[in-house]
Structure 1
Amino acid sequence: MDIKKWKTQYPFLDDIWKLFQDFDRTVIEDNYFVEYEKKCRFILDGKNYHLDVCMKLLRNLWLITDDPYEHISENARCTYLNTWLYYQEKNKFPGDIINKIFRIVKDIAYDSLEEPYICEYDPSYKNHIEPEQMMKLNNLIDNMDIIEEILLDNSDENHCLCQKYVHECGGIYRNMNKKYCDNEEDKTIKYNVLCEELQTFQKKYVELSSEYPHIRNKLPSLDFSNNTYITGCLYTEKKRISYLDDNSAFNQVFRNLPLIVGGMMGTSVILLILYKFTPIGSLIRSRMGKNKAMDDTLYEEMNEFGSSSYQYENMNLDDMEYNMTYHPVRNSQFAYNIG
Structure 2
Amino acid sequence: MNGLNLKTSDIFYNKLDNRFNQYGDTDKCNDLDNKLEYHHGVYEFCSSLIGNLKKFDELPSLSLFDKYRCRYFNIWIYEKLKKLFPDIKDPKYTTMQTKIMNFWDSYKEDKECNLDFPSYIINNNQYDKMKDLYDYALNYEMLKLDIENNNYPCTHEISNYIEKSIQLYNEIKRECAVTVEHKKYCAALNEIKDIYGNEQLTKLKCSKVLSSEEATTQVEEILERRLDGVQFREVDTHYGIQATDEHSRDTGLVNQQVTTSFSDSNDAMTVVLPLVGILLTFFVLYKFTPIASRLRLLLLKRKVIEGKMNENSPHELLENIFDSVETNAPRDHHTVGYHPVLNV
TM-score, length basis structure 2: 0.45
**Higher Cα Rg, which structure:** 1
Q: If each structure's helix is expressed as a fraction of its own residues, which one has the higher value?
A: 1
TM-score, length basis structure 1: 0.45
Q: If each structure's strand is expressed as a fraction of its own residues, which one has the higher value?
A: 2
